[in-house]
Structure 1
Amino acid sequence: MTKSQGPSSGVEISAQHRGRTREARYREIERYLRELIASAKPGDRLPSEAQLCARFGVSRMTVRQALGELERDGSIERSQGRGTLVAVRPMHRVPGVFLSFSEEMERRGLKPSSRLISAGLEHARPTEVADLRLGHQDRVVRIVRVRLADGVPVALEDAALPERYTFVLDADLTNGSLHKALEARGTIASRAVGTIHARLARSSEVGLLDLPPNAALLVETRLLFDQNGLPFERTETRYVADRYVIDVVHTHP
């Protein structure tokens, strides 16, 4: 005699219904958030999990499912303490092309600006003495700035120039271009050499660049030469790895 499957079938149908309902709800939340993202700027804060739960009358599990989809495709960034933010789409630098930060951002249609951390004269570091061909007691003009694109922190830049370039301290180092100030006084960047490596952000960099702890950085050290072949600037720039990509091209010898 075959036993009835009625009760167990009802449980299965109920569970399937709840699953379909939860999926429909998280898709609804996902669509809502994508609409917000479309009209927002990178770095803008999105509603919290609690706000989304209240708005849609769902559990945190359903909300987190929607947020997980957006995080996987790079639309949002989530971190403890900062909440959910509209992600910054990484910008790609073309290999072999030398541009200042301001020139590069302007070509992308972005507004470059800086947050000045410090600017002044100090004794040169050993690496700067060697690269800039200075004496061991020489000083450098040091300018430390957070570089921004449309108001979003992209990099932390530490630039050192020989003391003869003290005049750049009178330039607009927040909204202006350091290289344009140099060009106005006859120094034109013609070539650059450098290295790139990756490391985790330090605590001071996390705060300045608005990053979660242990975020990755791309650190580029660059030595610039003027039109006469003389080195005039050594810069260490720490790029936020998920906001800036350096493309490379390889050819077979």
Structure 2
Amino acid sequence: MSNRQPRDESREARYQEIERWLRDLVLRGSAGDALPSESDLAQRFGVSRMTARQAMQNLAQEGLVNRRRGSGSYIAQLPLHRREGMLMSFTDDMRRRGMVASSRLLDATLRPATAGDLEALRLPEGSRVVAISRIRLADEVPIAVERAALPAECAGVLADDLESGSLHVSLHQRGWTPALARSWIGARVVTPAEARMLDMAARGALLIERRIIYDQDNQPFEHTETAYVAERYVIDATFAATAPGAMTTAAAPAPN
């Protein structure tokens, strides 16, 4: 005999009703607007908080709702799409969208280069790098945690404004002009510390981009790992099909 419990049709119908009501609220509202709490929803619809929570979680999984621990639930920003083929600083990208870019500086120092830094920046063993870690924001909404490593010759940027200013402007003023970038994209689950910094729900997804930027002389001068909030930032890509049996060029492997 099966021990499977019968599905609670009434409970399913109730959370779907709440979900439809919330979805309409989201579509009529604006990003950042506060949504009713689970207890308010439970009282309004005469259901348990568990049923109300299920409805809210469904919309959060779709990226329509941003749930902030200890604060509440809010209408989420639509994700920002980064157009392919464009090498643009985060500051310029946000300015192009009519948004204000800013940063929260986590750390900026000279440190020994990691093995990955040495390979990416073509540095000799024992080299030091300029390491800059920042939270990148658009209109004060956290978008990513960015960790950049630069050759020690770039140390002058440590004296510049790395929160409201642009790192790439500082580098350009010192003769380092971005000309080409190579990127490797992955994904992983957010850590508890990152979730707090980025105002994310636990177990949320991060889009991880490792990037090497080359100057006008094809010399690498920036090795960056950026962890984007997946529901707030999308990297667009286009792929062209090749004829069956056609020769293709293998993609360059990611640096270790």
Whichever structure has more helix as a proportion of its residues is 1
Distance 1:28 1:95 in 2: 35
Aligned length: 231
Distance 1:168 1:105 in 2: 21
Distance 1:66 1:38 in 2: 18
Distance 1:244 1:145 in 2: 17
1:59 matches 2:47: yes
TM-score, with normalisation over the residues of structure 2? 0.78
Hey, what does 2:237 align to over in structure 1? 248
Distance 1:26 1:177 in 2: 44
Hey, what does 2:7 align to over in structure 1? none
Hey, what does 1:219 align to over in structure 2? 208
Tell me, yes or no, if the aligned pair for 1:141 and 1:163 is still in contact at 8 Å: yes
- Alpha-carbon offset, residue 47 of structure 1: 2.8
Tell me, yes or no, if the aligned pair for 1:26 and 1:65 is still in contact at 8 Å: no
Question: In structure 2, do the counterparts of structure 1 residues 71 and 163 end up closer, same or farther at CA, with 3 Å as the change threshold?
Answer: closer
- Alpha-carbon offset, residue 191 of structure 1: 0.5
Matches within 5 A, 1:175-194: 175-194=164-183
Matches within 5 A, 1:34-113: 34=26, 38-41=29-32, 45-53=34-42, 56=44, 58-60=46-48, 67=56, 70-71=59-60, 74-78=63-67, 81-113=70-102
Hey, what does 1:114 align to over in structure 2? 103
- Residue 130 of structure 2: SS of its match in structure 1? strand
TM-score, with normalisation over the residues of structure 1? 0.79
Which runs of 5 or more residues in structure 2 are unaligned? 1-9, 243-256
Question: Partner amino acid for 1:92?
Answer: H
Hey, what does 2:197 align to over in structure 1? 208
Question: Partner amino acid for 2:224?
Answer: T
User: CA offsets, 1:193-215, max 9 Å, x none?
Assistant: 12111111222222221222221
- Alpha-carbon offset, residue 123 of structure 1: 0.4
Tell me, yes or no, if the aligned pair for 2:191 and 2:203 is still in contact at 8 Å: yes
- Alpha-carbon offset, residue 149 of structure 1: 0.8
Distance 1:57 1:220 in 2: 43
Which runs of 5 or more residues in structure 1 are unaligned? 1-17
